[in-house]
A and B are shown apart, each in its own frame.
Chain A
Amino acid sequence: MRKDKWIKLPNENLKYAEEEIEVKLPQEEVGIETPPIWKRAVAYLIDLIFFYFSFYQIFMIIYLPRVGLLFSSAEQMKSFLSTNPEAMIKVIVGLVGILFILLFYFVLLEKNFKTTVGKRIMGISLSGEITYKNVIIRNLTKSVLLPFILIDVLGYLYIGKRFSELKTKDIYSTHLLIEYGEI
């Protein structure tokens, strides 16, 4: 609850009391609006940060030692890769694996909760028909097709939303508008 919308009322039971109590005001959803692109971008960044410090680390802890790429510093890894270029394929495979897990993260959270960690923090959720197919399509360029994300985002210039959202027009990001009632 947004605490700046709490008001303080005097305690009617105590005539001479100066004590105040806090009362939650009733709320009502009055509509939805498309959140601005910067909010969606920040939400995505928050998701990436959360993902990096959680699932990415777990993946690397298991994957890197198995493929012999566990080094104590980036410099060491760089030096190793320069003398063993064939090891780059393992780095690439690892990154692709990570991107698939990222896709799974978005798909699972959006399908089950209509939101992700980043979206939740920014007050964004999804509305509409949320099917697995839709959430996968709308999250491809945010994960496995990451190199194409800039092209996807260019859609904002022409159609007001990402190009990938053309295919999933039934679901859209929303930002709840809340009005507070009166006592």
Chain B
Amino acid sequence: MEIAKTIKVFVTLLLFTILTAFLLGKMFETEYGNVALIKIYGEISFEESPFEKTANADKIIDNLKEAKENPVIKALLIEINSPGGTVVATRNIANYLKSINKTKVCLLKDVATSGAYWIASACDVIVSDEYTITGSIGVTASYLEFSKFFEKYGINYVRIVSGEEKDIGTPFREPTEKEIKNLQDIINEMHKDFIKDVAENRNLSIQKVSEIADGSIFTGKKALELGLIDVLGDKEKAIQIIKQRTNLTQVKLVEHEEKISFVDLLSQFLSKNVFSMSKLKISV
């Protein structure tokens, strides 16, 4: 009787334990993925716009940091659909990506040009569709200049500066030759670094990259021939490559994304960034 009672009590306890574990587990059930999906959509910069999708470099780096430090994450899938962005933002992301010691596979979507390609080149493998537009290895600092327009309507730009080149890049007057040369030198320097990085990342010679780094865009098919990407394919292909390189039998993607609240959206709308026009911006 005593033994039967003991068994009964311990079995009750065991069932209670199992039920509690099961119910609590069900309530907080989560499947943590083993591959971080990080999307870089839109123009890359440190700014944000409420009117269009932009890729905020700080937030992307935060997501990359999370993926880097998370022991559950074994690989990264970087999805890029971007025309490029500012030089510093792009370089920051590319350099941080290079510091991550996990498998990085990049999937190019519709467009991955200029700075977006710079970031892609920092990955281990680049997968692209045949008709993805990529390339455009180059730097631009073009801007609108309204001096003739102002002249036409009698608007005068009153120039008060402490140095001759203090207002370089202002849209309100024509740039001098010296200013254009200065800007061009800066652009050329950045361009050289862009070429050097791509050559190093893609294991190509600097000469070969220089030949195609005149800003030309290429389809995915052409990019494959030039050695700018590794394989033609889609997301499934990218996942397959991840499995091969990491020996994972199952890939569970976990998207690292930032959730924007209504208050954030409103504050972006009211911020002065929305009203900046014709700002000199150096982009890749």
Residues of A that sit less than 8 Å from B by CB = 55, 58-63, 65-68, 71, 76, 79-80, 82-84, 87, 89-90, 93-94, 97, 100-101, 104-105, 108-109, 112-113
Interface of A is mostly: helix
Measured between alpha carbons, how far is A105 from B26 in the docked complex, in Å? 23
A100 to chain B, nearest CB (A): 7
Helix, strand, loop or mixed for chain B's interface?
A: helix
Task: Name the one of B21, B28, B66 contacting A62, with C-beta atoms under 8 angstroms.
Answer: B21
CB neighbours of A55 from chain B (8 A): 13-14, 17
Q: Is the CB of A83 within 8 A of B26?
A: no
Cα separation A84 to B70 with both chains bound (whole Å): 8
Shortest C-beta distance, A20 to chain B (Å), equals 32
Which residues from B are CB-within-8-Å of A67?
25, 28-30
Q: Is B22 an interface residue (CB 8 A)?
A: yes
Nearest A residue to B22 by beta-carbon distance? A62
The reply to whether B26 and A66 form a contact with Cβ atoms under 8 Å apart is yes
List residues of chain A with CB within 8 A of the CB of B17.
55, 58-59, 101
Q: Is the CB of A108 within 8 A of B12?
A: yes
CB distance A113 to B9 under 8 Å?
yes
Given contacts A68-B31, A80-B71, contact A94 B24 (CB under 8 A): yes
- 27 pairs, CB–CB < 8 Å, chain A vs chain B: A55-B17, A60-B21, A62-B18, A62-B21, A63-B24, A63-B25, A66-B25, A66-B28, A67-B29, A67-B30, A68-B32, A71-B71, A79-B69, A80-B70, A80-B71, A80-B72, A83-B70, A90-B28, A93-B27, A97-B20, A104-B13, A108-B9, A108-B12, A108-B13, A109-B9, A113-B5, A113-B9
Given A58-B18, A76-B72, A79-B70: 11 more A-B contacts, CB < 8 Å? A55-B13, A62-B22, A63-B21, A63-B24, A63-B25, A68-B30, A68-B72, A80-B71, A80-B72, A93-B27, A101-B16
Which residues of B are found within 8 Å of A76, using beta-carbon distances? 71-72
Determine how close the nearest CB of chain A comes to the CB of B250; give it in whole angstroms.
Answer: 14
Please provide the chain B residues from 122 to 147 with a CB less than 8 Å away from any CB of chain A in the complex: none
Please list the residues of chain B having a beta carbon within 8 angstroms of any beta carbon in chain A.
Answer: 5-6, 9, 12-14, 16-18, 20-22, 24-32, 65-66, 69-72
Q: Which residues of B contact A108 (CB under 8 A)?
A: 9, 12-13
| B69 (CB) vs chain A CBs: closest residue | A83
Contacts of B14 in A (CB 8 A): 55, 58
A61 CA / B18 CA spacing, docked (Å): 10
Chain B residues whose CB sits within 8 angstroms of the CB of A62 once the complex forms: 18, 21-22, 25
**A105 x B24 contact (CB < 8 A):** no
Rounded to whole angstroms, the CA-CA distance of A67 and B30 in the bound complex is 5
- C-alpha spacing A82/B6, complex, angstroms: 43
Q: Tell me, rounded to whole Å, the shortest Cβ–Cβ distance linking A85 to chain B.
A: 11
A105 engages B28 (CB within 8 Å): no
